[in-house]
């Protein structure tokens, strides 16, 4: 595994107010360091595996959690708890923060405090409410606005004990791991400066979050609170040699703590079900059981959800596979 010189990266900013400038796609001249330049800090494994679920909606133009039109938030939290999930990955958009209407998220954090067994990961899923974002900046929202949005939202909910982790940016779409490592270091350092020792962090991969090869922030002093998160679907990799791609992109990467931040499938599709079963067996073989399933509500076009179309009944086939992964 290769690492990048933090002195070259940190020269872009100082901790006390800085003009942050991510490295662009054509600026890939940073020197690489050998493995022994940094020591990978050991992680203390959680007493329980992460049995996570993604519950989307706040990052969309709906500005609300899916299926709350059928049942209230606390009903869903009871359902999530009853099904055995112990983490909720909660997507939001920069637009949601800048808009300033916190009613739905306030309600979520109010009610989740009644469920001590459920931890929350805040996920900056995209910049705009209407479409995905390839990077955490564009011509409308600067990187500084992205960073400040993290400060605003974390300042609002930092005292909620259920809020444990920060997933810094959902899916960096480029292959430019030099820029992504720079972005990750700047984002993590910015948040840690404003909220010292408060949060755990998740850093995703390149290529739509699907590749952790060459991704690392192990040179940061607080990297013992960082985990690396991969996203995988049946369409993420070519159909041939799935295991070879999985090994290269995350399972055999020299990183200390890896989770699957998104994975999912349609149980009505034989092809997708076969993929999901193979993926679960691979995760079990590799002892990588910390996952966040996509998604809770039925209305994800890519995967469907744990809930069926009535926002009440459960897809038992998916839950059976999840319980197999959880070793229940």
User: Above 80 in pLDDT, residue 291?
Assistant: yes
Distances (CA, A) of 237 to 55, 174, 208, 249: 24, 15, 11, 10
pLDDT more than 90, % of the chain: 84
Q: Reduced to 3 DSSP states, what percent helix, strand and coil does the chain have, rounded to the nearest 5?
A: 35, 15, 50
Domain count, the chain: 1
Give the C-alpha separation, 3 to 36, whole Å.
10
**Any idea of the CA torsion for 300, 126, 202, 142, to the nearest 10 degrees?**
180
pLDDT for residue 254: 94
Mean pLDDT, rounded, for 208-237: 96
Helix (H) or strand (E) holding 4: strand 3-4
Q: Which of 39-43, 126-130, 133-137, 154-158 has the lowest mean pLDDT?
A: 39-43
| Cβ pair 239, 274 in contact under 8 A | no
Domain with residue 119: its CATH number is 3.20.20.80
List the alpha helices (DSSP H) in 163-234. 177-194, 206-209
| Cβ pair 189, 157 in contact under 8 A | no
Q: Which of 82-96, 112-126, 228-242, 306-320 has the lowest mean pLDDT?
A: 228-242
Residue 258 phi, psi (nearest 5): -125, 140
Listed in sequence order, the residues at least 6 apart from 17 whose beta carbon sits closer than 8 Å to its beta carbon are none
pLDDT for residue 310: 98
Its pTM stands at 0.89
| Cβ pair 303, 266 in contact under 8 A | yes
| Cβ pair 190, 152 in contact under 8 A | no
Give the domain range for residue 285: 3-326
pLDDT for residue 28: 37
pLDDT for residue 42: 58
Give the C-alpha separation, 279 to 1, whole Å.
24
Give the C-alpha separation, 279 to 31, whole Å.
35
Mean pLDDT, rounded, for 140-165: 98
pLDDT for residue 296: 98
Listed in sequence order, the residues at least 6 apart from 312 whose beta carbon sits closer than 8 Å to its beta carbon are 70, 71
Tell me which residue of 251, 277, 262 sits closest to 208, measured CA to CA. Answer: 262
Q: Which of 16-25, 91-100, 254-263 has the lowest mean pLDDT?
A: 16-25
Give the C-alpha separation, 292 to 138, whole Å.
28
Q: pLDDT tens digits for 132-143?
A: 999 999 999 999
**Does residue 295 have a cis bond before it (omega within 30 degrees)?**
yes
| 295, two tokens | 């998604």
Mean pLDDT, rounded, for 147-168: 98
| 109, two tokens | 């954090």
Q: Which of 170-184, 195-209, 228-242, 270-284 has the lowest mean pLDDT?
A: 228-242
Distance between the two ends of the chain, CA-based, in angstroms?
35
Mean pLDDT, rounded, for 76-86: 98
Mean pLDDT, rounded, for 208-216: 97
The total of other beta-carbon atoms located within 10 Å of residue 157's CB is 17
The total of other beta-carbon atoms located within 10 Å of residue 159's CB is 9
The gap from C-alpha 240 to its chain's centroid, in whole angstroms, comes to 26
pLDDT for residue 73: 98
**Does residue 197 have a cis bond before it (omega within 30 degrees)?**
no
Give the C-alpha separation, 54 to 151, whole Å.
22
Assign 47 a pLDDT band (cuts: 50, 70, 90): low
Identify the three-state secondary structure at position 163. strand
């Amino acid at each position: 595994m290769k690492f990048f010189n933090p002195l070259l990266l940190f020269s872009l900013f100082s901790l006390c107010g800085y003009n942050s400038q991510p490295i662009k796609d054509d600026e890939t001249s940073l020197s690489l360091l050998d493995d022994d330049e940094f020591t990978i800090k050991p992680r203390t494994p959680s007493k329980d595996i992460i049995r996570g679920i993604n519950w989307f909606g706040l990052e969309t133009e709906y500005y609300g959690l899916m299926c709350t039109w059928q049942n209230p938030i606390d009903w869903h939290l009871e359902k999530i708890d009853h099904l055995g999930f112990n983490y909720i990955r909660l997507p939001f958009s920069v637009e949601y923060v800048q808009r300033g209407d916190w009613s739905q998220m306030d309600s979520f954090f109010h009610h989740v405090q009644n469920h001590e067994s459920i931890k929350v990961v805040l996920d900056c899923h995209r910049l705009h409410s209407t479409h995905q974002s390839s990077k955490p900046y564009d011509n409308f929202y600067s990187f500084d606005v992205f960073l400040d949005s993290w400060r605003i939202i974390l300042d609002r909910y930092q005292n909620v004990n259920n809020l444990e982790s920060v997933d810094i940016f959902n899916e960096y779409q480029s292959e430019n791991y030099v820029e992504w490592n720079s972005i990750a270091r700047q984002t993590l350092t910015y948040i840690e400066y404003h909220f010292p020792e408060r949060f755990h962090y998740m850093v995703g991969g390149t290529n739509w979050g699907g590749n952790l090869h060459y991704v690392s922030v192990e040179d940061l002093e607080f990297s013992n609170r960082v985990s690396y998160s991969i996203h995988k679907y049946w369409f993420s990799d070519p159909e041939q040699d799935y295991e070879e791609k999985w090994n290269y992109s995350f399972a055999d990467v020299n990183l200390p703590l890896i989770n699957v931040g998104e994975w999912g499938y349609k149980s009505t599709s034989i092809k997708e079900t076969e993929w999901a079963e193979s993926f679960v067996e691979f995760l079990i073989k590799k002892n990588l059981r910390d996952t966040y399933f996509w998604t809770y509500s039925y209305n994800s076009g890519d995967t469907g959800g744990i809930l069926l179309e009535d926002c009440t009944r459960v897809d038992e086939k998916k839950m059976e596979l999840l319980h197999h992964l959880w070793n229940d």
